[in-house]
C-alpha cells in the first residue's frame, strides 16, 4: 500500500502545455504515472505528445476521463484559481507545485477547501511519489526505491538528500510527501504523519522540518499519543537569526515556538529521535528502525 497516490491514481495536469508543465508531465509519464488528461484553457481538443487529451477545464477533463488527482503547474497569478477550479470539480487530491502564490490568494483557497473533501499538497512543494508506482511532482525519480519508510518534509532539497541517503543504504520508501514551505498551505506534517501511521506498508516515519511555525510540535503531539511506529526527524535552520526569512516564506522564526530548539524539545519529549546533521539523516533513520526491530524482537 501507500498514501495519497499509487499506480491507479488518474491524473490531470493543469498547465500541461506550459514550459514547466510539459517538461515535468513527460517525466511523470516516463515514470509510469497514469496521466489521463491535461488542462489549458483555449487548447481543448488538442493532445499532449499525441497521447494525453487536453481540455479547456478541469470539469470537462473529469467528465471525460474520471481523473481523481490534479497536478498544478499554473503560473503564480492564476494558480489559486486553478486550485479552486479543481476543487469545484470535486477532484480528490490537488498537488500544487507553483511557488510565489500571494498569501491572500492562499487564504482564500484554504477557506474554500475547508468546505470540501478535497486534499491539497503545497503550494511551493516538490510533490508526492510512491516509488515504483506513481510520481506527481518534480522530484528526481531515480533516487527513489520502494520500501518501508514514509517521508514527510517541508523542504524539497532535503527530501531528495534524505531519500538518496536511505536508498544508498538499501532502505526504500513507501511514499514521500513534500508539503511545501509556504506559510499557508494544504496538508501539514501532522496530517501526513497520521496517514503514515495508518498505512500498513509504512514501518517507520521520517519527518524533515525547519524553523518557523508549530507544525513539528503538532506532529509530535499526535505521535506521542497515537503512534507506535519508529520515527526520526531532522530540523533545518538551527543557526537562523530570529525574524529573518530563510528560503521558504514559512521558515521565519517569529517566536520561541518557531525555533529549532523548541521543536527538538517537543519531538524528543514525544520519543522521536532527532538527527543533528544532514549528513546523518539516512544512517540515523536506519538506526531508529534497527532499534525498534530489536525492541519488538
**Residue 76 domain-assigned (yes or no):** yes
Q: Are residues 290 and 230 in the same domain?
A: yes
Mean pLDDT across 237-261: 62
Instruction: Give the pLDDT of residue 297.
Output: 61
213 — pLDDT class (breaks 50, 70, 90)? confident
Looking at residue 240, what is its pLDDT? 64
What is residue 245's predicted lDDT score, i.e. its pLDDT?
A: 56
HEC sequence for 234-274: EEECCCCCCCCCECECCCCCCCHHHCHHHHHHHHHHCCCEE
Annotated binding-site residue numbers:
17-20, 43, 97-99, 160
CATH code of the domain covering residue 88: 3.40.50.720
Cβ–Cβ < 8 Å for 86, 79? no
How high is the pLDDT of residue 259? 80
My answer on whether 110 and 195 are in the same domain is: no
Q: Is 108 in the same domain as 148?
A: no
Count: domains in the chain: 2
Active-site option among 24, 144, 185, 248: 248
Q: Which of 89, 121, 153 is the last residue of a domain?
A: 121
> Which pLDDT score is estimated for 49?
94
Q: What pLDDT, on the 0 to 100 scale, is given for residue 246? A: 56
pLDDT per residue as tens digits for the range 113-135: 999 999 999 999 999 999 999 99
Structural domain includes residue 237: yes
CA dihedral in degrees (281, 282, 284, 290; nearest 10)?
A: 160
Which residues line the annotated binding site for CoA? 17-20, 43, 97-99
Q: What is the pLDDT of residue 226?
A: 87
Q: Confirm whether 86 is domain-assigned.
A: yes
Q: pLDDT tens digits, residue range 25-53?
A: 999 999 999 999 999 999 999 999 999 99
Of 121, 149, 178, the last residue of a domain is 121
CATH number at residue 229: 3.40.50.261
Enter the pTM of the model: 0.93
pLDDT score recorded for residue 153: 96
pLDDT of 72 strictly over 90? yes
Predicted local confidence at residue 292, as pLDDT: 82
**Rounded Cα distance, 208 and 170, in Å:** 20
Annotated binding site for substrate: 160
pLDDT tier, 163 (very low <50, low <70, confident <90, very high otherwise): very high
Residues 48 and 91 in one domain: yes
C-alpha cell at 251: 521558515
Residues 189 and 262 in one domain: yes
- The reply to whether 101 and 202 lie within a common domain is no
Tell me the average pLDDT across 144-168.
Answer: 96
pLDDT band at 2 (very low <50, low <70, confident <90, very high): confident
Beta carbons of 112 and 100 less than 8 angstroms apart: no
pLDDT surpasses 90 at 151: yes
Range scoring the smallest mean pLDDT among 73-77, 244-248, 282-286 = 244-248
| Higher per-residue confidence, 23 vs 228 | 23
Tell me if 156 sits within 8 A of 129, measured CB to CB. Answer: no
Residue appearing with cell numbers 496521466: 35
Considering the chain, what percentage of its residues have pLDDT values greater than 70? 93
- Is 248 tagged catalytic? yes
Does 152 share its domain with 226? yes
Domain that holds residue 55: 11-121
Residues 143 and 283 in one domain: yes
Give pLDDT, residue 156: 85
Q: Model confidence over 272-285: pLDDT tens digits?
A: 999 999 999 999 99
Other Cβ atoms closer than 10 A to 134: 24
Instruction: For residue 210, tell me if it sits in a domain.
Output: yes
157 and 74 inside one domain: no
* Average pLDDT across the chain, whole number: 92
Please indicate, yes or no, whether residues 86 and 182 belong to a single structural domain of this protein.
no
Amino acid at each position: 500500500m501507500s498514501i495519497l497516490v499509487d499506480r491507479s491514481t488518474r491524473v490531470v495536469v493543469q498547465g500541461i502545455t506550459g514550459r514547466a508543465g510539459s517538461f515535468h508531465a513527460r517525466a511523470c509519464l516516463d515514470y509510469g504515472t497514469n496521466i489521463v488528461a491535461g488542462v489549458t484553457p483555449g487548447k481543448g481538443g488538442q493532445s499532449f505528445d499525441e497521447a494525453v487529451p487536453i481540455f479547456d477545464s478541469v470539469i470537462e477533463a473529469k467528465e471525460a476521463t474520471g481523473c481523481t488527482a490534479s497536478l498544478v503547474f499554473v503560473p503564480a497569478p492564476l494558480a489559486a484559481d486553478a486550485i479552486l477550479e479543481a476543487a469545484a470539480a470535486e477532484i480528490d487530491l490537488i498537488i500544487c507545485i507553483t511557488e510565489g502564490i500571494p498569501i491572500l490568494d492562499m487564504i482564500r483557497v484554504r477557506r474554500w477547501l475547508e468546505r470540501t473533501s478535497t486534499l491539497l499538497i503545497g503550494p511551493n512543494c516538490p510533490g508526492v511519489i510512491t516509488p515504483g508506482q506513481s510520481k506527481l511532482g518534480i522530484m528526481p525519480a531515480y533516487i527513489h526505491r520502494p520500501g518501508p519508510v514514509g517521508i514527510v518534509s517541508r523542504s524539497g532539497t532535503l527530501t531528495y538528500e534524505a531519500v538518496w541517503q536511505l536508498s544508498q543504504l538499501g532502505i526504500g520508501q513507501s511514499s514521500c510527501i513534500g508539503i511545501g514551505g509556504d506559510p499557508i498551505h494544504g496538508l501539514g506534517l501532522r496530517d501526513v504523519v497520521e496517514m503514515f501511521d495508518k498505512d500498513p506498508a509504512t514501518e517507520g516515519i521520517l519527518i524533515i522540518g525547519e524553523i518557523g511555525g508549530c507544525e513539528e510540535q503538532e506532529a509530535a503531539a499526535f505521535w506521542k499519543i497515537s503512534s507506535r511506529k519508529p520515527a526520526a526527524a531532522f530540523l533545518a535552520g538551527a543557526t537562523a537569526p530570529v525574524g529573518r526569512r530563510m528560503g521558504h516564506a514559512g521558515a521565519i522564526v517569529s517566536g520561541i515556538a518557531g525555533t529549532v530548539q523548541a521543536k527538538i524539545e517537543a519531538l524528543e519529549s514525544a520519543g522521536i529521535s532527532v538527527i543533528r546533521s544532514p549528513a546523518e539523516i539516512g544512517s540515523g533513520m536506519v538506526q531508529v528502525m534497527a532499534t525498534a526491530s530489536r525492541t519488538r524482537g
